[in-house]
A = this chain, B = another copy of it.
Amino acid sequence: MDIPYLTPLPVDMLRRLGIPSDWNFGLADRVRFSELDALGHVNNAAYLSWFENVRLPYLAQARVTDYGPSAPRLVIAELGVRYLKEMLRGEVYVLTARTASYRNSSFQTDYAVFRITDSTAELTCSSRAAIVLRSRDGTGKLPIPDAAIAHFTRVDGATKET
């Protein structure tokens, strides 16, 4: 299959690639030489930049931010990563993102890496990150915009934490 890289993929293409149906936002990329370490596989830190690559367009689509000059600061407070399979140079993968749950000014986002081959989409890495909306001047937290909460609930099936 011909996969358009670096662009949010239509949901039906995610399904045809074999990405599980609880992921509705994804984009394709390939492992670069500069992401390998001396062991010859993708270094554990490189995955965090990958999640950043999918998080930024995801947060724009979910209406959390427009990245404008007066947009809130989005700060990662906590993250967890599970490294399930090694990855090697040139491999094609799809990064996915969604929101699992939210509070007033913070939310839990999930990420996954699926290695794409002719026949399968194999989960190689998964991650969760807690994101907090802070004011530009750093003095306080800001509420999640209503449009974002609508997206979290409707598209991602996220729940409100109590």
* Interface residue count on the A side (C-beta < 8 Å): 36
Task: Confirm or deny: A1 has a beta carbon within 8 angstroms of a beta carbon on chain B.
Answer: no
Q: CB within 8 Å of B: which of A33-48? A: 33-34, 36-40, 43-46, 48
Which of A7, A49, A56: most chain B Cβ within 10 A? A49
Copies of this chain held together in the complex:
4
Q: Considering the complex, give the chain B residue whose CB is closest to the CB of A73.
A: B39
Report whether B37 and A45 are in contact in the complex, using a CB–CB cutoff of 8 Å.
no
Segment with Cβ contacts to B, from A18-26, A75-83, A147-155: A75-83
Known: A45-B52, A53-B32. A81 touches B79 (CB 8 A): yes
Task: Confirm or deny: A89 has a beta carbon within 8 angstroms of a beta carbon on chain B.
Answer: yes
Task: Confirm or deny: A63 has a beta carbon within 8 angstroms of a beta carbon on chain B.
Answer: no
A49: chain B residues at CB < 8 Å are 32-34, 45
Report whether B34 and A52 are in contact in the complex, using a CB–CB cutoff of 8 Å.
yes
Sampled A-B contacts (13; CB under 8 Å): A5-B5, A6-B6, A33-B37, A33-B53, A34-B49, A36-B38, A38-B40, A44-B52, A44-B79, A75-B83, A78-B81, A79-B81, A80-B81
**Residues in A lying within 8 Å of B, measured CB to CB:** 2, 4-7, 29-30, 32-34, 36-40, 43-46, 48-49, 52-53, 56, 73, 75-83, 86, 89
